[in-house]
């Protein structure tokens, strides 16, 4: 079975931290903590640690954490474990004394029934020691992955400079991932392969996975799955020739996707048709533009319009991230360190023909402007910047510019004056909290995560807004007017 790397629903604003997770078994093996596993599996991944003595910690859990408690308000162990499991916690650590001399039997039974790992923390071990040990293990894992990715990048770059670069890059990739790397032709046949042999079932599944990508316009850039007892992944190259990279490994590490992404960029460049003449013409046009030529005069060097401007933020933090995104979208025209209109920095900006589809890319948030001719690209750039801001506010993977609409029927100066009058009672933090809250459809928890404040602070601020404005914020007409005012300031 395989799954395409395409967006399904808008993700929650929060996510797991960049550090790789640490298996619970490593924490249990720490010699100074004296932890003991009482129930559940010991190999679950821990993304972070959280201490709570709330009777119901559900609202304060993000999922994937080690929840630590001394049971101060533990009255119903069965219900407590159900809520912890529902919140997605990875494991539960119970500290004995001063409240309990031993871990309650009902808690052990409930954890065993739900498959939730339960760890006993002895009296001599403070919770802070457990948290410190987990953060240290996570930092060590993160450092290991950074070194591993850096060494792999250097190895792949060295391979790309060899006389036969494509087989060399595949060989370096297969060696770094301890698996097999295959370059598939558009018809599904193996063009070049490197690394150890894999079972026939795995080879067949990898070929089928690569076929999921194929040369379809707007198709997914990558896909992953399992077959023949191995972890499989496939990546479409950006050269436009329908080539696909397939990788089969025993396991999938946190940095494997980044390493494979570097190989994808290199292979895309190595297998792409020669474009030297096109680059020369484009560079000459850029010189003329810098010397004062009108945009329309040099637009012919880019190719027939109209054009689409895309703003993006995200990636894996490597120097190859922007190039990988450009290859996935099929364009060489990319500004990796752009400054968006309005002063926002850190956005990658891309230019591609309007006929080329723009699809959501894993790990990126995209804002897409309306198709524009050469003399309208400045306006399209501003549209893409606004679309990117909307995508980030709503948690969407991709937002396109919406031309016209109700806002287009109102004079901008009149709308701004109305907004100033309506929102005058609100301070900056209150207005921003109201804007984010409305953009997230009144979601308390999502607003709290988006603004990095407590959900009770969100409730207090929204109640204060309602009082200062004298409006019923449950009224959809009021919400619509306030949203219009907030976006017209």
Q: Half-sphere exposure of 351 toward its Cβ, with a 13 Å CA cutoff?
A: 18
Rounded to an integer, what distance in angstroms lies between the CA atom of residue 487 and that of residue 485?
5
Distance of CA 321 to the CA centre of its chain: 12
Q: Half-sphere exposure of 48 toward its Cβ, with a 13 Å CA cutoff?
A: 11
In tens digits, the chain (489 residues) has pLDDT values of 333 333 333 334 344 445 678 899 999 999 899 999 999 999 899 998 999 999 999 999 999 999 999 999 999 999 999 999 999 999 999 999 889 999 999 999 999 999 999 999 999 999 999 999 999 998 888 888 888 888 888 888 888 877 778 888 999 999 989 899 998 888 888 888 899 998 999 999 998 888 887 555 556 778 888 888 899 998 888 765 678 899 999 887 778 888 888 888 888 887 765 455 555 566 666 666 666 667 666 666 666 678 899 999 987 665 557 777 887 788 878 887 654 444 445 788 888 888 888 988 888 999 999 888 877 888 888 889 888 988 888 888 998 887 665 665 455 677 788 888 888 898 888 999 999 998 888 889 999 988 889 989 999 999 999 999 898 988 888 888 888 888 877
Residue 142 has what pLDDT?
83
Which DSSP symbol is given to 349?
E
Rounded to an integer, what distance in angstroms lies between the CA atom of residue 449 and that of residue 443?
10
Q: Which of 310, 284, 445 is nearest to 372 (CA)?
A: 310
Per the CB < 8 A criterion, the answer to whether 90 and 59 are in contact is no
For residue 317, the SS3 value is coil
Class of residue 267 by CB neighbours under 10 A (exposed 0-12, middle 13-18, buried 19+): buried
Strands (E), 24-124: 36-39, 45-46, 48-51, 65-69, 91-95, 118-121
The pairing of beta strand 36-39 with beta strand 45-46:
unpaired
Rounded to an integer, what distance in angstroms lies between the CA atom of residue 358 and that of residue 352?
9
Per the CB < 8 A criterion, the answer to whether 121 and 68 are in contact is yes
CA angle 361, 365, 367 (to 5 degrees): 105
The verdict on pTM exceeding 0.95 is: no
Q: What is the dihedral of CA 384, 390, 396, 397, to 10 degrees?
A: 20
Class of residue 32 by CB neighbours under 10 A (exposed 0-12, middle 13-18, buried 19+): exposed
Per the CB < 8 A criterion, the answer to whether 62 and 14 are in contact is yes
Rounded to an integer, what distance in angstroms lies between the CA atom of residue 331 and that of residue 352?
6
Residue 121 has what pLDDT?
96
H-type helices in 440-475, by residue range?
444-451, 455-469
Rounded to an integer, what distance in angstroms lies between the CA atom of residue 261 and that of residue 265?
6
Residue 265 has what pLDDT?
86
Q: Which two tokens stand for residue 150?
A: 């850096």
Residues 6+ apart with CB under 8 A from 443: 437
Per the CB < 8 A criterion, the answer to whether 377 and 302 are in contact is no
Rounded to an integer, what distance in angstroms lies between the CA atom of residue 444 and that of residue 458?
7
Q: Given the structure tokens 């599904």, which residue do they identify?
A: 188
Per the CB < 8 A criterion, the answer to whether 26 and 137 are in contact is yes
């Amino acid at each position: 079975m395989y799954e395409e790397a395409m967006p399904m629903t808008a993700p929650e604003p929060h996510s797991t931290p960049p550090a790789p997770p640490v298996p619970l078994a490593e924490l249990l093996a720490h010699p100074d903590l004296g932890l003991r596993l009482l129930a559940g599996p010991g190999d679950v991944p821990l993304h972070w640690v959280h201490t709570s003595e709330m009777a119901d910690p559900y609202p304060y859990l993000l999922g994937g954490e080690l929840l630590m408690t001394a049971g101060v308000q533990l009255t119903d162990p069965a219900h407590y474990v159900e809520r912890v499991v529902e919140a997605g916690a990875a494991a539960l650590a119970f500290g004995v004394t001063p409240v309990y001399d031993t871990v309650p039997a009902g808690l052990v039974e409930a954890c065993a029934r739900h498959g939730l790992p339960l760890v006993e923390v002895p009296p001599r071990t403070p919770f802070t020691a457990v948290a410190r040990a987990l953060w240290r293990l996570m930092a060590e894992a993160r450092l290991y992955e950074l070194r591993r990715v850096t060494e792999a990048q250097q190895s792949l770059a060295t391979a790309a400079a060899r006389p036969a670069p494509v087989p060399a890059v595949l060989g370096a990739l297969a060696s770094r991932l301890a698996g097999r790397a295959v370059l598939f032709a558009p018809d599904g046949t193996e063009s070049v392969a490197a690394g150890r042999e894999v079972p026939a079932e795995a080879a067949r599944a990898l070929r089928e996975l690569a076929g999921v990508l194929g040369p379809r316009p707007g198709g997914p850039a990558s896909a992953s799955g399992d077959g023949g007892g191995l972890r499989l992944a496939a990546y479409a190259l950006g050269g436009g020739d329908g080539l696909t990279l397939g990788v089969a490994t025993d396991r999938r590490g946190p940095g494997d996707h980044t390493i494979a992404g570097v190989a994808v960029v290199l292979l895309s460049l190595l297998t792409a048709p020669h474009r030297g003449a096109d680059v020369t013409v484009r560079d000459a046009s850029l010189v003329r533009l810098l010397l004062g030529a009108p945009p329309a005069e040099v637009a012919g060097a880019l190719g027939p319009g109209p054009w689409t401007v895309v703003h993006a933020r995200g990636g894996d933090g490597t120097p190859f991230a922007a190039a990988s995104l450009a290859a996935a979208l099929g364009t060489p025209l990319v500004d990796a360190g752009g400054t968006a209109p309005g002063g926002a920095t850190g956005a990658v900006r891309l230019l591609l023909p309007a006929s080329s589809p723009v699809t959501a890319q894993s790990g990126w948030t995209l804002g897409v402007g309306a198709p524009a001719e050469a003399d309208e690209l400045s306006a399209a750039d501003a549209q893409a910047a606004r679309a990117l801001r909307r995508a980030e506010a709503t948690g969407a993977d991709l937002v396109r510019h919406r031309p016209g609409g109700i806002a287009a029927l109102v004079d901008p100066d009149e709308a701004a004056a109305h907004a100033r009058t309506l929102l005058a009672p609100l301070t900056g933090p209150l207005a921003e909290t109201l804007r984010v809250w409305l953009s997230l459809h009144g979601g308390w928890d999502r607003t709290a995560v988006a603004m990095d404040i407590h959900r009770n602070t969100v409730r207090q601020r929204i109640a204060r807004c309602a009082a200062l404005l004298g409006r019923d914020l449950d009224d959809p007409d009021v919400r619509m007017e306030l949203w219009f005012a907030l976006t017209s300031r």
